Structure 1
Amino acid sequence: MTNYETFATIYDSVMDESLYQKWTDFSLRHLPINNDRNKLLELACGTGIQSIYFSEAGFDVTGLDLSAEMLAIAKKRSHAKNLDISFVEGDMRDLSQLPKFDMVTCYSDSICYLKDEVEVGDVFKEVYAILESDGAFIFDVHSTFQTDQVFPGYSYHENAEDFAFLWDTYADEPPHSVVHELTFFVKDKTGSFKRFDEVHEERTYEILTYDVLLEQAGFKTIEVYADFEDKKPEATSKRWFFVARK
């Protein structure tokens, strides 16, 4: 494998895989599947694990991501399972070259990686434009409780025989924002360890801000849930789910 493939494999290995089934289950409760309307676009699909879950659940899936390297891994995964999934390299801030979809998802707090609420609003408008009539858009974001109370000072370290992983999170300057500093040490074929460093900046907003941006994009109904369940957010909810319909 190339260094990037090795890195992505390690990155996936420290991800809680049970979350993919939870995202799938939440989607199935809010995105009814039928033979005529099952075209789903997954934004920020990464290495394709969630796209595969969606495909196996019965959706006609297209995955979009900025990273060609991630998409190469996603394609290998889907081919290994003999699944017909389209993977497209692209930016969720410009979906003008894509066809219409019945539903769009953006999970794993990918919206939180956009730099400001202007970009968030732009993405909402792009999604609205490519949705069929009565189409649905589902995404999740960190709650303000998560960014303000849970994440700052968070530290996770893992040591295995062929890799080590360090993850530390700090509060950032903008409201409800954090910086994740990730360091991987991955053993290569010579037995030496190669270091990979990444810095992830995330920012969230109040629920009202997301509601207003969705309304400005044109969505007519908006429902908000928390923590993978069909329940309303509470003060200590960590992840908010938005279900917006065109």
Structure 2
Amino acid sequence: MYEAFSSVYDDLMRDVPYDQFAALFERATEYVGSSFVRVIDLGCGTGVMIPHLLRRSRTVIGVDPSAEMLAVAAQKVGNYRQRVSFVQATAATLPSEGVQAEFCVSFCDVLNYVLTEEEFLASFRSIARALSKNGHFLFDLHTPYKILHVLGNQVHYDISDHQAALMTTSVDETRLLVAYDLTVFDKAKNGLYRRFDEHHEQRAYSLFTVLRALFEAGFRSVHLGADGSLFMHVPPVDLSLFATDTENEQKKEIQSLEQQFQLESAQRWFFFAHRENGEV
């Protein structure tokens, strides 16, 4: 995944709201009231977020499954090289040594690339193991609404002086899965165009599934957010409800949260999960 596109990835992703992600990270770190020794950037890609993370952390560990993407990220760090390290891994396969931190971020719907509930839970467990006892995990996800009503069954194109990109999408409504077929023509120095083709899939998960997986992985509370906001004016959701309530009661409480924060029609959910209870 992304092997052929590592050289053109930043051009294609220029509309991603990285400044919004950086602002949410800043707000989250202000909430817990400290800077950090180490922050994990899970799914770091070409390293766009790393300079933002270094403002609140002494070091950053960039993690990505693509060696080619990590190579591009390593070229970017420049003067920060002594403060950044890179690990090739997925969320579910974080090594038990060398990837330990107080804070982990995963932006730009990285975890939607996890296509089974089993691997989704394994990813959260792997992240929890990499965090300190009172660690924090800030991440986002495309929502079921976005998969079904925004991303699916579309044709997108982008044309510039040196590049043309065409993407078609299709949706499996039963599995909440969207498939992307992307073709890019990129102009080389000799004036000829290189063609790249890649296929990607993402899956959405219900809020119930996400919160239950966080609890089973060892997180104890979580602040929710949507479409660029974190709802930290209210206490975090106490995930112990998954230990004490019946499944029907759990689902009713989650449905109440969806209504309270208008999450059902949101396109991107944010989660700020805490190993401890999250109160400060």
Provide the TM-score with structure 2 as the length reference: 0.80
The amino acid that maps onto 1:215 is F
1:193-238 superposed Cα distances (whole Å, 9 cap, x missing partner): 1110111100011101001111111111122210111243433210
The aligned residue for residue 222 of structure 1 is 222
Matches of 1:152 and 1:36, distance apart in 2: 40
Match of 1:73 in 2: 72
- CA gap 1:35/1:26 in 2 versus in 1, 3 angstroms: closer
Name 1:87's counterpart in structure 2: 86
Q: How does 1:121-200 map to 2 (within 5 A)?
A: 121-172=121-172, 174-200=174-200
The 1:101–1:233 alpha-carbon spacing in structure 2 relative to 1, beyond 3 Å, is farther
Q: 1:5 to 1:110 in 2, by over 3 A?
A: closer
Cα distance, 1:183 vs structure 2: 0.7
Partner of 2:61: 62
CA, structure 1 residues 100+190, in 2 after alignment: closer, same or farther (shift >3 Å)?
closer
Structure 1 partner of 2:236? none
State the AA in 1 paired with 2:89. Answer: G
Taking a change above 3 Å as real, the CA distance of residues 213 and 74 of structure 1, as seen in their structure-2 partners, is same
| Cα separation, partners in 2 of 1:153 and 1:36, compared to 1, 3 Å | closer
Residue of structure 1 equivalent to 2:50: 51
Distance 1:191 1:201, change over 3 A: same
Distance 2:165 2:156 in 1: 8
Q: CA deviation at 1:52?
A: 2.3
Secondary structure of 2:49's counterpart equals: helix
Gaps of 5+ in 1: none
| Bigger mean CA offset, 202-211 vs 162-171 | 162-171
Q: Secondary structure at the match of 1:49?
A: coil
CA contact (8 A) 2:91 2:124 kept: no
Change (3 A) 1:6 1:113: closer
Equivalent AA in structure 1 for residue 14 of structure 2: D
For the Cα contact (< 8 Å) 2:61–2:99, is it kept in 1? no
Determine which of 215, 227, 239 is the counterpart of 2:268: 239
The CA distance in 2 between the partners of 1:109 and 1:36, in whole Å, is 25
**1:115 maps to 2:118:** no
Q: Residue 57 of structure 1: CA displacement?
A: 4.9
Matched residues, percent identical? 30
AA matched with 2:263: E
User: C-alpha separation between the residues in 1 aligned to 2:215 and 2:44?
Assistant: 25
Contact 1:103 1:131 in 2 (8 A): yes
Q: Which is higher, the Rg of structure 1 or of structure 2?
A: 2
Supply the distance in 1 between the matched residues of 2:34 and 2:268 (Cα, whole angstroms): 31
Structure 1 residues 194, 167: CA separation in 2 closer, same or farther (over 3 Å shift)? same
1:168: Cα distance to partner?
1.7
Figure out how many residues of one structure are paired with residues of the other and give that number.
Answer: 243
CA offset digits 1:151-186 (Å, max 9, x no partner): 112222112222111122111364211001111001
| Counterpart residue number, 1:20 | 18
> Which residues of structure 2 form unaligned runs of 5+?
232-260, 276-280
